[in-house]
Structure 1
Amino acid sequence: MIVPIRRSTRTSRWALLPAAVILIVLGYLPYLAEQSTTNTMIDFFILLILGITWNMLAGYAGLVSVGQQAYVGIGAYGVLWLAQRGVNPFVGLPIAAVFCAVVAVPVSYLVFRLRGGYFAIGTWAVAEVFALLTIRSSALGGGTGTNLPGLDGYDPVLLGAMTYWAALAVAVLTLIGCYLLLRTRVGLALTAVRDDETAARAVGVAVPRAKRIVYLAAAIGAGGSGALLAISQLNIEAGNVYGVQWSAYMIFVVLIGGIGTLEGPIIGTIVFFTLQQTLASHGAWYLIIVGSVAVIMAVWVRRGLWGLLDRFGLRLFPVGYRVGEQPVPERS
């Protein structure tokens, strides 16, 4: 008997219909809910994008970066720079995201010379350098920031809905893009790198190439998030978009949800926003509780919340190979 090797699972196949329903409901949300709800969902999508792309770095490539806010800032200021030259911010969003990948190419050659904790510190230092360079530019508002031009003529309700749809589109494209990337040979290479980089090199895996592809993809995602942040807030200030809190949020949602899975950042983002909306009015207790949850998960539930479900064989986004449920008879 030949045991078939499959990628999809029963869970992933059955999840297609609910996923389509959820996507349709999310698309109609501006017609069903108040603008405050859609504004909250924009923030949700921004953090989800950051969590998914950071998880690719740390969970699949072993690149624990605390400097992804560099590309959040570049994406935000990229939209601002384009808008100052007459480009509609919604049109400038993908341009700014791609520009982040262009910037990430030389940066990757610099930070990839570092390993472990040195890599993490190096990425943070790069983010600080970009922040300082931005602050020195008076055309970009300097240290006090500036307003985003090009959206003054829009009705506020329409602008809120367009921003929401843009955030939803970027989040869906990011999730699908990461899923498809991880199902390619690059994804297989990253799995080998994550398990044992030395062994992966020994069997011929192009480790630097695989890592660089993921690093550039993560830069595009962070840049898109920064562009969405600029459009949603209509004001860009370096201390906000280059703030290290963005890396803290990314790490939190991935740690809570489950590192090394595409489902984990989704669960983690939901938990984060639930805690935020529930506890934000409690002042310092909010930070204490969120920090305590992170410590508990790191110590006792290292695979995250999705890891607890994964023991039952659940896979919504299967990117690896698995043994099929039914054996296939050999042909005579």
Structure 2
Amino acid sequence: MSSHAAHVPVLPQDSPQDHGQASPATGPARVRRATPASRGAAIAFALWVLMAASLPWWGESSWMREFVEFSCYFILAMMWNLLAGYGGMVSVGQQAFFGLGGYVMLALGNLAGLNPFLAIPLAAVAAAALAVPVSRIAFRLQGGYFAIGTWVIAEVFRLTLANIPAVGGGSGTSLTALRGMDRDLRELLTYGTALACVVLCIVGLHVFLRSQRGLALQAIRDNEVAAESQGIAVARMKLAVYVVAAAGCGAAGALYFVSNLRISPDAAFGVQWTAFAIFIVVVGGIGTLEGPMLGAVLFWLLNKFLADYGTWYQIGLGLLAVTVVIGFRQGLWGWLRQRSGIELLPTRRWLVGEGVEDVPRR
């Protein structure tokens, strides 16, 4: 982000209000960036990470496999939320980078002889690199045309990979690079990688969205013209977010197919990946960090206990999404936050002090 981001209309960190100095109009004031709930959430998150890290020593292997699958859906949803919920770029083609990450991991493992776990971050880098030229096409489109255009790009990726025999063609292939690895070790490494990716995703997005660049991104989402008039480099910021979202989707795809041990174009580039991400974000609460977390847990529970009902399960997901959109326009977390005022991962600022109302600031 260029120095233009400094022009985002937020209270400067070194203003008199921050240091509790008197203001002629409001008296002593300061900027509050945390809440009692968020401090408690930080402690709970640290304890959860410690507990999750110790799971291989006291839990069952099936629990680790469930967490890996959950992680892939969660990371994909968080990346879609960053792109659409905070950046205002609604895409239905993020499966392009999800599948690409899986295929890059497979190619590096099977053809280049690289350890697939080391190939996961390289797959994320490859997805980010390819997102740059892809953005030159996608960013020519706006609104619904952008959404459909991203889906068409994903289909181009699928058809291209289906015609490359070295990676299995249309029928796909298995990940043979892990054939000689002990199963318990493979599951442990997969679980550890998934946990690291989830923690990095949550912490990284929270830090970014609390920064001036995060505020600039939200200003772009609300009004691009107004944001650019304030000196924000709109095109550069949108490109950066698109690239980061692509990298996250690529990492999720590589992780999923390391766990699954087999990949095919239809499985890797299916539109259901983005559909699941949209469901998680919309039901949980778009434009929040807590929403996709709640939505991912709800989706995992539904998938765990109702998936055996086949078509009725899919109909149920659709009805739930429609109900939430009509009855809870801000998602379940948005509705809960509005009623309770709780913010576990706040990205806003509050101007507080003597003579100042507790007013949130962007």
- Do these two structures clear the TM 0.5 threshold for a shared fold by scoring above it? yes
1:268 paired residue among 271, 292, 295: 295
Counterpart check, 1:191 vs 2:218:
yes
In structure 1, distance between residues paired with 2:112 and 2:268: 21
1:28 aligns with 2:54: yes
- Correspondence for 1:82: 108
TM-score, length of structure 2 as denominator length: 0.88
Question: Of 190, 214, 222, which residue of structure 1 is paired with 2:241?
Answer: 214
Letter in 1 for 2:246: A
Superposed CA offset, 1:281-314 (max 9, x none): 2222211211110001111101111112212222
SS in 1 for 2:169: coil
Q: Which amino acid aligns with 1:2?
A: P
Aligned-partner residue type, residue 344 of structure 2: L
Runs of 4+ in 1 over 3 A off after TM superposition: 326-329
Q: 2:206 aligns with which of 159, 179, 182?
A: 179
Partner of 1:136: 163
2:32 counterpart of 1:6? yes
CA RMSD, 1 decimal: 1.4
Matched, 1:314 2:314: no
Deviation (angstroms), 1:328: 8.9
Give 5+ residue unaligned stretches, structure 1. Answer: none
For 2:343 and 2:292, how far apart are their aligned partners in 1? 14
Aligned residue for 1:64? 90
**Aligned pairs (5 A) from 1:151-300:** 151-300=178-327
Deviations 1:46-77 (A, max 9, x none): 01101111100111110000000000111001
1:127 corresponds to: 154
Give SS of 1:143's match. Answer: helix
Q: Normalising to structure 1: TM-score of the pair?
A: 0.95
SS class of match (1:5)? strand
CA contact (8 A) 1:145 1:237 kept: yes
2:43 to 17, 23, 32: 17
Residue of structure 2 in register with 1:323 after alignment: 351
Q: 1:304 aligns with which of 327, 331, 334?
A: 331
Q: Which amino acid aligns with 2:142?
A: R
Query: Once the 2 structures are TM-superposed, how far is the Cα of residue 42 of structure 1 from its aligned partner?
Result: 0.6
Distance in 2 separating the partners of 1:166 and 1:328: 49
Contact persistence 1:72–1:227 (CA under 8 A) = yes
Cα distance in 2 between the residues matched to 1:167 and 1:11: 27
Shift of 1:35: 1.8
Task: Report if aligned partners of 1:4, 1:327 keep a CA contact under 8 Å in 2.
Answer: no
Give yes or no for contact 1:75–1:222 (8 Å, CA) kept in 2: yes
Amino acid at match of 2:56: P
Decide whether the 8 Å contact of 1:4 with 1:328 is kept in 2: no
Task: Tell me, in whole angstroms, the C-alpha distance in 1 between the residues paired with 2:138 and 2:276.
Answer: 22
Task: Give, as a single letter, the amino acid of the residue that structure 1 aligns with 2:103.
Answer: Y
Match among 114, 129, 134 for residue 107 of structure 1: 134
Once residues 61 and 234 of structure 1 are traced to their aligned partners in structure 2, the CA distance between those partners, rounded to angstroms, is 34
Deviation, structure 1 residue 206: 1.4
1:93 CA displacement:
0.6
- Aligned partner of 1:296: which letter? T
Q: Structure 1 counterpart of 2:176, which letter? A: P
Alpha-carbon distance in structure 2 between the residues aligned to 1:322 and 1:65: 32
Residues in 2 aligned to 1:283 and 1:123: alpha-carbon distance in whole angstroms: 28
Report the number of matched residues: 328
Equivalent residue letter for 1:228: L
Higher mean displacement: 60-69 or 21-30: 21-30
Long gaps (5+) in structure 2: 1-26, 357-362
